[in-house]
A and B are shown apart, each in its own frame.
Chain A
Amino acid sequence: MVPQRQLLSGDEAVALAAFDAGVRLGAGYPGTPSTEILEYFAQLGGRAQWSPNEKVALEVGIGAAFARARALVTMKHVGLNVAADPLFTAAYTGVSGALVIVSADDPGMASSQNEQDNRRFAAAAGVPMLEPADSQDAYDYTLLAIEVSERWSIPVLLRMTTRVCHSKTVVRPRAALPAPPEPDFVRDIRGRVMIPSNARPAHRRLRAKLAAIARWNEAEGPRRVTGQGRRLRIVASGVAFAHAREAAPEAAVFQPGMTYPLPVEAIRGFLDGAARRVVIEEGDPCLAEALRAEGIAVEAKPEMYRFGELDVARIRRILAGDTEPEPAPAPATPPRLCPGCPHRAVFEALRDLDCIVSGDIGCYSLGVLPPFEAMDTLVCMGAAVGVGLGMRATLPAEQARRVVSVIGDSTFVHSGITGLVEMVYNPPSTGHLVLILDNGTTAMTGMQEHPGTGRTLDHRPTGKVSFEDLARALGISDVLVVDPTVNPAGFRELVRERLAAGRLSVIIARRNCLLAAGRIKEYEKCDEP
């Protein structure tokens, strides 16, 4: 049977492969460009769930894989920072089923706070990494990641990038993997309880596995080689492979599908005798450094191409040795808060009161732009609370009294709760005010549910975390819930009054996201028995 062609995004291709492979559980936290993987997996009929954050998602995936299931965990690149703690030790324990962790990197920062290169994580944690160049690779490598994970009992990282996640290319699904055994608990205390006496041999086992995987990758790992000239030979990974082929049709190009551990000898052989050998990679010079460390002389891109995405034009420039400043991109229209967005009333108040705003990530980050310009810091999810407390603790009192922490509802659940604990435990002498902007959804990434909405990934009713109950249970007595849009002037006065009180306060500004409001109403109707 000829497999049916499908036109799929990289995200959809990962989901389809996971579904075809009988993945039992998909867990993750939304984050562009990874979000659609679990959404599509659920649409196909897979069991997918949002966790409160990436660390929990990975822990759930580890548990499933300890239980001998096939598990998929998805997140954007910065999510792996949050999940790094379980990642590094899961590399030691290994898994009994399969564990595939998708890291969706964002070179160029289309919608992220940094452009960290998560290929560094593979080497740091000692976890194999596969890097698809297009949706067909995304499909094939998801299956391969499951096979590698099961064969060597090791978690596997699948590194996507924004272009690969969000580009649609043609996919031909291949034959399904043999079905895995049913989940079952088999006790393995020494293998899974990482007290030092067990972790020491576990680290040695990990290194032995990586050596075996490296040998396999050298001999028969995934790769593509196109062209055969010896004048110019290029090693390129991820989507840079597709760009490089177009930019240099005369070149021979090698794409290592598994970039950690790298098939160094295969690449050495490919480059042998070539007049010119160039590494083309987005982000950090990981491949170039690894090859040079093995004594393979390669040209790396000039430093200016570390920044941003690569494309055909930039690769032509790299090959031409062009380091002249690049033409500035056309001034695009920036995004803004929707007209009628409930966040508007909040930022108008913070602006009018000249607050020092410790901000956070979400739609409400747009409060930094005119006409509000009411955000002074933004670091990472959850940082609003801690950073605000740090400023309160050290600024002169008259400035400290103006500090407000502003955090969205999904972000609060993700990593703001521990900040509230800090506030109770180390209260600033001037008090503090935390504003939770509860718009009933994770708007920024496309309206996903979270534990505060009381609905699951596929919008069915489930347990609901009440922010006001949580804050009161932590011992914060001044907890207020208001709709900021009903009486904006009254809201402003409330903020002024809380700042003047010099106590610990939490205001939950509750009003549904305008774009999500219709949908939320529909879901709520379905929720009624």
Chain B
Amino acid sequence: MSRSVTNIVVAGLGGQGVLKASDIAAEAAFRSGRDVKKSELHGMSQRGGSVTSDVRYGAEVLSPMVPAGEADFLVVLDADQVEINLPLLRPGGMLIDPARLEGVRLASRKSLNVALLGVLSVSLDLPETAWREAIATHLPERLHAANFAAFEAGRAAAGGHGGSR
């Protein structure tokens, strides 16, 4: 069954928007009518420690956790957190880290999480409208414009190359 399920892990440090990013990704899959499970531990997440969150979707998802070494996509918000999280990725899985946005100017560092979701979205089979609705659901209205822009910037940056590891 594992191949019919898409496994995404979002990782970073507390305060960077890891949980917000995984909420948005899960919501986008949910709005696309898929079965979804999203999981994380957020005990002391605000105090700057490592945080990871798992999102899985497909026809039927069982465990809410992505088994180590089975992530299809690893989205890392902090360059320093890439190495410790790489073992989560399956061979041939895709790493999406801040380096993917090289040369992209974001209006605010705060929307890095959404920009990386833009990169991710290009490789997923979820309609763009579902992503936009998900962003709108999980962010306050005054942040919508900036985050839609960040999402688009991420999509554009991902454009041609599907950088597999």
Contact = CB atoms under 8 A, between A and B. Distances in A.
Interface of A: 5, 7, 32-33, 108, 110-111, 134, 162-163, 166-170, 239, 242-243, 245-247, 249, 311-313, 330-338, 363, 366, 444, 446, 515
Interface core residue of B36, B47, B48 (most chain A CB under 10 Å):
B47
A316 to B, nearest CB: 9
B56 to A, nearest CB: 10
B141 to A, nearest CB: 18
20 contacts: A32-B42, A32-B43, A33-B43, A110-B43, A111-B44, A134-B37, A162-B41, A166-B41, A167-B38, A167-B39, A168-B23, A243-B62, A311-B67, A312-B63, A312-B65, A330-B85, A330-B87, A332-B84, A334-B49, A366-B47
B65 A363 contact: no
A511 B68 CA distance: 42
Interface residues of B, number: 36
A512 to B, nearest CB: 15
A335 B85 contact: no
Task: Tell me whether chain B's interface is mostly helix, strand or loop, or mixed.
Answer: mixed
Interface of B: 1-2, 13-14, 23, 26-27, 30, 35-50, 61-65, 67-68, 80-81, 84-85, 87
Nearest to A111: B43
A168 B49 contact: no
A32 B41 CA distance: 10
A168 B38 contact: yes
Interface core residue of A166, A168, A170, A337 (most chain B CB under 10 Å):
A168
B65 A311 contact: yes
Contacts of B61: 169
B69 to A, nearest CB: 8
Nearest to B87: A330
A239 B14 contact: no
Contact of A163 (B14, B65, B87): B65
A168 B26 contact: yes
Contacts of B1: 246, 249
Contact of B26 (A7, A247, A334): A7
Contacts of A336: 47-49
A246 B64 CA distance: 10
Given A166-B39, A166-B41, A168-B26, A242 B64 contact: yes
B89 to A, nearest CB: 12
B84 A134 contact: no
B67 A312 contact: yes
